[in-house]
Structure 1
Amino acid sequence: MTKKWKMLCSLLLIATLLLSACSSNNGKSKEGEAVDSSGNKVEEPTELTVAFPLFGSAPKDMALIQDAVNEVTLKKINAKVELLPINFSSWQQQMNLMLSSNEKLDLIAIVGNFTQYMSKNQLLPMDKLLNEQGKGILNALDPDYLRAGKVNNAIYAVPTLRDMATSYGISMRKDLAEKYKIDLDKINTLADLEEPLKVIKAGEPDLAPLLPPTFSSVVNALPTYDNLVDRIGVLMNHGDNLKVVDLFETEEYAQQLQLVRKWYQEGLILKDATTNKVNENELINSNRGFATLTVINPMSYATGSNGAGYPRVIKELLPAVSMSSTITNAMWGVPVTSKVPEKAMEFLNLMYTDKELVNILDWGIEGKHYVVKSDNIIDFPPGVDGKNSGYNLNYGWMFGNQFLSHVWNGNDPDIWKKVEEFNKSAIKSKALGFSFDPTPVKTEYANVSNVVGQYFLPLETGSVDPEKILPQFIDKLKTAGIDKVIAEKQKQLDKWVEDNK
């Protein structure tokens, strides 16, 4: 074969390959867009980053949960979701860093700090998104609950659907309560806890008798006021007269600090309460504590458990109340950094309407993390328990509509119906639905928040002497501008009352 003929064959082969490449688009159109086998344009999945806090480290099967979530979202809204769990101890710092550096973030859980996000203008208004991509959310939530996320006539966050009221009390180990014959009928106030705690201290010296809730305090765990979300200006007796007062200057607050200080000095309260980052339930379950002050709802009395640890007995100390803070302590918002807020709202809407997605987030993967026993009742698969399960968050209160969630074996099959009745029967604060906008006093609000953050844990866990430290706390609050913040909150509350007559 001559060189000329070889060259001609090579040219013909190249031409054939080029023609073949032109006739086959390999799933791409002329413009490089994705197409199906029929040549129809296929829209690439939208990528979403969804962040939420965890008490502790991410479950070992988190990647599997993300894959299961994406099986749902790719099919139903053509979105691919990255789940971003962050330890609660660094949650706020991480959120501020991500939002200030414009990192990809499309949906965030808001746990107890709604006002802080508003003070920094970190959330997008959601009204249009809700009306266009979030109709399922609007159908699921009572308008009174939606109002709690409204500031200046715009909705900036939506609450999860769960227990929308809260009563407060004490949760203690059942075995020790029975061993030491603790009479729950005699415990009706915070002060009534003193004798039972002393009994435990004497009989179980290696245990901390009382554990403050993690990142909170003894005093804050039993509020007799509407904290108006942030405790920087509150309504005593849940708004009987709608007068905003400085909680930290009230006689009631000072008396509670004295009691808690006495308990701390007597060894009745966890010694490292101001620095402890271990969840109070984990401390109890690991035989390091006896009791904790807790929020109470119908689920608190359930006999079943999907966790590992000691069974509890619970005594209510304050009746159920529905306040804005009860609603705003678990919400979802679209951060200002999101480039795809419409798709973020589509995913959020699924969290309120799609039972499959809700139960993946709440309980994991059927057959691996749970099995269906009957109807809506689930339990661990054989060989799996709370200690070895790869996904055992039990965070149904966080992920959208908890009323779509399965019920764990041993719990009341009608629990969600009872929670709904609990919500309806609770006392409603006269300021339910009011949310404060700190923008007009954002400098003072930030300064006051910093002072509160510095002082409240040491004071409210008894770790410091209130006779010396409370006056310092009050002076620094005054210097930071708390009076100006309270005056602005009163002004906004008065207008809110007028607008909602």
Structure 2
Amino acid sequence: MKKMGRAFLGAGLAVSMALVSACSSGAGTGNQQAQTPSSSLAAGEPVELVLGYPVLGEVPADIGSVEAEINKITLRKINAKVKLSRTSVSQWAQQRNLILAGNEHMDLFVTSFEDYERHASKNQLLELDELLTKEGKDIAVVLGDKLKAAKIKGHIYAIPTHNFIEAGTGILLRKDLLDRHGIDVSKIKGTNDLDAVFETMKQKENLLGVAAPNGQMPMTYAIDWLNYDPLVDSLGVLPLNSKDMKVVNLYEMPEYVEALKKTRSWYQAGYLPKDAVNAKTAPPDLMKNGEVFSIFQSNSVFLQDSLSSITGRQLVKVDLQKPVITTKEELGLMWAIPRNNVKNSQKAMELLNLLYTDKEIINLINYGIEGKHYKKVSGEVISRINDSGYSMNQPFMFGNRMLTYVLEGEDPALRQEYTKFTASFQKSPAAGFLPSTEAVSTEVVAVKNVLDQYRKALETGSVDPVKVHPDFVKKLKAAGIDTIIAEKQKQLDAWLAQK
């Protein structure tokens, strides 16, 4: 999703940007206007706060009862009622953009490192510095120095989640089928070793080798030789083996071309679904339903345990792309207050503060009501109740993940092991670099239109890259990708000179 995962988030998790001077120029008036309480609020009437975010699977049928329980807490603590999002991930981007372009009520919404700068450049986000020092003071304690990475021109417009960092990618394989066919997973060292395994599953199980992504995480994340710092938006990337810090066009990299050929071979062999380009169902749901042999995700501590718990199948993880800390990992998913849509920004920040400090609310959002949607196994360990009407598999999205329960099947020592997991991470030399696309905004729009037209079909193997890729690159250049890369290189050089 981003990472839905992350990916979500990625996720999509899963999955657009720009950096800004307009943010600070208009912040004063918008901030004062948004923070002016109405007479009804002054009289003590509860505020309704709308929380906007994508639901990665189906919208839970019993979301209303969870909302009611959350409101018992928020009415008592901040005199507010909360309305949770009912927006599926497939509709989220369009609905979010429509809301932000108008004045429909929304008080908090989840964005990401990719979209942060774009929203800020359009003056759609409220400056949060003053709110953080008053209504959100506990957030700064939780996040510490991580808040510094969120500054644009000296101001904070969105707040990163306190999360387990997801870096690199892993592919999760069904253990029962590996065992049934005598496949030694230790011999699967990378992407090319998956071909023979996928063929076995196709021939002997009549099963798709791997799920096609349904969000923003591209299929190329399953390719272990493709390692680069996306420099936020992948419109100009930094290869991790770069000696001269030169920004290059990802879509012209030889490694990218080889990645397209690999996914094409999987598609032609029948390891991917024929409608991969139109995939709608989340990969964990496909695994749960027994429709695929493997899924790939952003790598994280105990990834196989958490996905085994979610899918109800024992999974084995094979690492693919290397874990690298980039600006993406430093910022990740973020929560913002939309300038033109919020009705009371103080109350919005008070709710956000609870998302980083209130364990009961965090676990209600993620797991529902104890005894109805999940049961306590021991201590902090819980198990879901099947068909309970509420299953929200996205704890990475809400405030402070460190407050969430541990699902049965996950190691209770999750947080301690996380420190070990991140110890070997490579850090990109450009980590923390947040480029501005303000000067090339026209080219960014044009290039993204080309990407929307070509990228998913190419990256799921749905079209022949030998025939289509040259035209793809030609249209990227005509749209101005080289201009974007030159601007990003200029900014990266200036950023490096200041370090």
The TM-score bracket by the shorter chain reads 0.7 to 0.9
Q: Distance in 2 between matches of 1:244 and 1:265?
A: 33
Query: Which SS does the other structure have where 1:49 is aligned?
Result: strand
Query: Which SS does the other structure have where 2:293 is aligned?
Result: strand
Aligned to 2:214: 214
Q: How does 1:400-411 map to 2 (within 5 A)?
A: 400-411=399-410
Question: How far has the Cα of 1:146 moved from its partner?
Answer: 2.7
Contact 1:226 1:239 in 2 (8 A): no
Question: How far has the Cα of 1:492 moved from its partner?
Answer: 2.4
Question: How far has the Cα of 1:219 moved from its partner?
Answer: 1.0
Q: Deviations over 1:436-474 (max 9, x none)?
A: 222221111111111112211111111111112111111
Structure 1 range deviating more: 77-86 or 365-374:
365-374
Question: How far has the Cα of 1:240 moved from its partner?
Answer: 5.4
Contact 2:309 2:409 in 1 (8 A): no
Q: Distance in 1 between matches of 2:377 and 2:254?
A: 53
Query: Which SS does the other structure have where 2:397 is aligned?
Result: coil
Aligned to 2:417: 418
Aligned to 1:231: 234
Contact 1:115 1:230 in 2 (8 A): no
Residue 372 of structure 1 pairs with residue 376 of structure 2: yes
Aligned to 1:124: 126
Contact 2:165 2:300 in 1 (8 A): no
Q: Distance in 1 between matches of 2:222 and 2:115?
A: 16
Aligned CA distance change for structure 1 residues 495 and 142 (closer, same or farther; 3 Å): farther
Aligned to 2:81: 80
- The amino acid of 1:134's aligned partner reads G
Identity %: 40
Aligned to 1:4: none
Q: Distance in 2 between matches of 1:129 and 1:421?
A: 35
Question: How far has the Cα of 1:120 moved from its partner?
Answer: 3.5
Question: How far has the Cα of 1:60 moved from its partner?
Answer: 1.3
Contact 1:378 1:407 in 2 (8 A): yes
Aligned to 2:137: 135
- The amino acid of 2:45's aligned partner reads E
The structure where helix makes up a greater share of residues is 2
Aligned CA distance change for structure 1 residues 181 and 229 (closer, same or farther; 3 Å): farther
Aligned to 1:57: 58
Q: How does 1:286-301 map to 2 (within 5 A)?
A: 286-301=289-304
Query: Which SS does the other structure have where 2:259 is aligned?
Result: helix
State TM-score, norm by structure 2: 0.86
Contact 1:447 1:481 in 2 (8 A): yes
Q: Distance in 1 between matches of 2:121 and 2:446?
A: 12
Q: Distance in 2 between matches of 1:34 and 1:324?
A: 42
Aligned CA distance change for structure 1 residues 401 and 45 (closer, same or farther; 3 Å): same
- The amino acid of 1:124's aligned partner reads L
Contact 1:448 1:481 in 2 (8 A): yes
Question: How far has the Cα of 1:253 moved from its partner?
Answer: 0.9
Query: Which SS does the other structure have where 1:313 is aligned?
Result: strand
Q: Distance in 2 between matches of 1:437 and 1:238?
A: 24
Aligned to 1:359: 363
Aligned to 1:172: 173
Contact 2:117 2:436 in 1 (8 A): yes
Query: Which SS does the other structure have where 2:220 is aligned?
Result: coil
Contact 1:238 1:429 in 2 (8 A): no
Q: Distance in 1 between matches of 2:295 and 2:243?
A: 29
Q: Distance in 2 between matches of 1:127 and 1:244?
A: 33
Q: List runs of 5+ in structure 2 lacking aligned partners.
A: 1-37
Question: How far has the Cα of 1:95 moved from its partner?
Answer: 0.7
Aligned to 1:494: 493
Aligned CA distance change for structure 1 residues 308 and 186 (closer, same or farther; 3 Å): closer
Q: Deviations over 1:189-238 (max 9, x none)?
A: 21221111111121122x21122322343213445111122211111117
Contact 1:351 1:401 in 2 (8 A): yes
Question: How far has the Cα of 1:119 moved from its partner?
Answer: 4.7
Q: How does 1:325-474 map to 2 (within 5 A)?
A: 325-337=328-340, 338-380=342-384, 384-385=385-386, 388-474=387-473
Residue 258 of structure 1 pairs with residue 261 of structure 2: yes
Q: Distance in 2 between matches of 1:408 and 1:463?
A: 37
Question: How far has the Cα of 1:278 moved from its partner?
Answer: 0.6
Question: How far has the Cα of 1:99 moved from its partner?
Answer: 1.2
Question: How far has the Cα of 1:271 moved from its partner?
Answer: 1.6
Aligned to 2:312: 309
Query: Which SS does the other structure have where 1:319 is aligned?
Result: coil
What is the aligned residue count? Answer: 457
Q: List runs of 5+ in structure 1 lacking aligned partners.
A: 1-31, 36-40
Aligned to 2:284: 281
Aligned CA distance change for structure 1 residues 304 and 194 (closer, same or farther; 3 Å): closer
Aligned to 2:99: 98
Query: Which SS does the other structure have where 1:50 is aligned?
Result: strand
Aligned CA distance change for structure 1 residues 119 and 445 (closer, same or farther; 3 Å): farther
- The amino acid of 1:357's aligned partner reads I
Question: How far has the Cα of 1:495 moved from its partner?
Answer: 2.9
Q: Distance in 2 between matches of 1:479 and 1:376?
A: 55
Aligned to 2:6: none
Aligned CA distance change for structure 1 residues 133 and 285 (closer, same or farther; 3 Å): same
